[in-house]
Amino acid sequence: MASVVVESLFLHRMGDLYAVPIFHHGGQFARHPNGELEYVNETIDRLDDFELCVAELSFGDLVTLCEGLGYKSFKDLF
């Protein structure tokens, strides 16, 4: 089962804070010899068509976007 990592590009629009979701998926976590954990070999999708109001953003919104990327289920969402 997949893990999906989500980051955001934040934008200010008329006093509100919006997030453009950036999904890192299809990869795996790898630990370097120095102990650092990294997500590697991933696909990165920046969803510029979706500016989500941070004040109204829900976990369900993120799940819907993951489903739009082809994931019907996933192990973790970071």
pLDDT digits (tens, 9 = 90+) for 43-75: 898 888 888 888 888 888 888 888 888 888 877
Tally of domains in the chain:
1
Q: Do the strands 43-46 and 37-40 form a parallel or antiparallel pair, or are they unpaired? A: unpaired
- CB-side exposure of 7: number of CA atoms within 13 Å? 7
Domain that holds residue 60: 3-77
Instruction: State pTM to two decimals.
Output: 0.71
Average pLDDT over residues 9-26: 84
Q: Which two tokens stand for residue 62?
A: 């993120």
At residue 76, does pLDDT exceed 90? no
Residue 47 amino acid letter: L
